[in-house]
Amino acid sequence: MSEFNPNQHQHRRYNPLRDEWVLVSPHRMKRPWSGQVEKTISNGIPPYDPQNPLCPGNMRSSGKRNENYSGTYVFNNDFPALEEQSYILKESDDPLFQIASASGNCKVMCFHPLSNVTLPVMSHEEILAVINQWVNLVHDLGSKYEWVQIFENKGSVMGCSNPHPHCQIWSSSFVPNEGKLADHNQMLYLQKYGKPMLFDYVNKEMRSGERTVVENDHWLVVVPFWATWPYQTLLLPKRHVSRMTDLKEEEKSSLAQAMKSLLVKYDNLFEVSFPYSMGWHGAPTGKHLQSDVSHWQLHAHFYPPLLRSATVKKFMVGYEMLAQAQRDLTAEKAAEKLRNLPDVHYSLK
């Protein structure tokens, strides 16, 4: 048997956050592609569209009008998945038909007044304003709700219905599935090894460097060892931090630098406004604010779908849906590609 080379031979990698395995099949990158080709993501978005319901001063479909905002802008989602009213449901002792009450709050946050200014082309001060607004929302909503989920879907290929730069913040009276998994597995790791899982992980990745994409004084961005999506990344503080509200001022400023650097590299990879789904995970809030959450390490996930070019995406179907996740290039190769990209946005060349 020839010597094992992870960049050439199939193998499996373990994801301790989710307690699951990922199949890595590098040879599949060589297969010919005759499947679906996405439309090239347009870079010709106007700075202002009088019909866009997220632009400053415009009317939304609910009949409510946006403020003439000049920075970040937050409003309650007109069509929320969660509402503050909670219905009292009768408990069931049937193991197959369980139902529970759910309440919460859903907000929309516009990053910038101009529709053609996404995070990678925003200034450091503008990105820092976004981060400060996130911290404020986690603080305010976290005082009431058990979970505050910040997420951004960027690009139509990721299901985003509006090109204006924005994210959403869903707060819930319960800890959702992904949060419960992360909470449970980080707790088990701390009990077994005596260290917070992702704090241990960030230190090991800093020593290795082979999966590092961006690093500065306070933050590390890596393609995680167990990555599922082609150019998936994990953004982590170098200090042990459980929640976004625990960040120091210099860490927030440094975070703005790390985010800009990563997102510029994403755009430069295929010279397109790079689509992704991004979300922050931190320790549960609400009634958990007084609990010991030392097993938690704050982190953000970036899941971009593009695989070979600006028009070929990774589909999570078939084997991925029915067996386990499978990826077509190693985390090390993906990190090397991203790391070696310029730090200046391609539109400024």
Print pLDDT tens along the chain (349 aa).
457 777 778 999 999 999 999 999 887 766 664 555 565 555 579 999 999 999 999 999 999 999 999 999 999 999 999 999 888 888 888 999 998 899 999 999 999 999 999 999 999 999 999 999 999 999 999 999 999 999 999 998 888 889 999 999 999 999 999 999 999 999 999 999 999 999 999 999 999 999 999 999 999 999 999 999 999 999 999 999 999 999 999 999 999 999 999 999 999 999 999 999 999 999 999 999 999 999 999 999 999 999 888 888 888 899 999 999 999 899 999 999 999 999 999 998 7
Q: Which CATH topology does 49-341 take?
A: HIT family, subunit A (3.30.428)
The H-or-E segment that residue 184 falls in is: helix 177-193
Pair 190, 294: CB distance under 8 Å: yes
pLDDT score at 43: 59
> How far is Cα 74 from Cα 61, in angstroms, rounded to an integer?
16
- Give the β-pairing of 219-222 and 312-313: unpaired
pTM: 0.94
What token pair was written down for 303?
A: 């899941």
Structure tokens at 240: 């042990």
> Residue 194 and residue 156: Cα distance in Å, rounded?
43
Give the neighbor-by-neighbor strand order of the sheet with 219-222.
Answer: 73-76, 104-110, 166-172, 147-154, 276-281, 299-303, 233-237, 219-222, 212-215
> 100 by DSSP, 3-state: which?
coil
Q: Residues in the chain, how many?
A: 349
284 contacts: CB under 8 Å, gap ≥ 6 = 146, 147, 175, 179, 183, 291, 293
Residues with active-site annotation:
166
Q: Which residue has the tokens 């860490």?
A: 251
Element housing 306 (H / E): strand 306-309
Give the pair of three-digit tokens for residue 209: 């460097």
Tokens 């931190």 belong to residue = 282
Helices (H), 72-176: 124-142
Q: Is 153 helix (H, G, I), strand (E, B) or coil?
A: strand
* The predicted structure's pLDDT at residue 32: 60
Neighbours of 284 (CB within 10 A): 23
**Chain centre distance of CA 70:** 25
Cα–Cα distance, 139 to 285 (Å, whole number): 9
Asked if residue 107 lies in contact with residue 75, where contact means CB atoms within 8 angstroms, the answer is yes
| Domain edges within the chain | 49-341
Q: What residues contact 301, with CB distance under 8 A and at least 6 apart?
A: 232, 233, 234, 235, 278, 279, 281
Cα 65 from Cα 55, distance rounded (Å): 10
Q: Which two tokens stand for residue 94?
A: 């049937």
C-alpha 12/C-alpha 23 separation (Å) is 5
**290 to 103, 208, 253, 284, 293: CA distances (angstroms):** 21, 36, 27, 10, 9
Position 40 scores a pLDDT of 58
In sequence order, what are the residues at sequence separation of 6 or more whose Cβ sits closer than 8 angstroms to the Cβ of residue 255?
131, 218, 219, 237, 247
pLDDT at 26 (0 to 100):
83
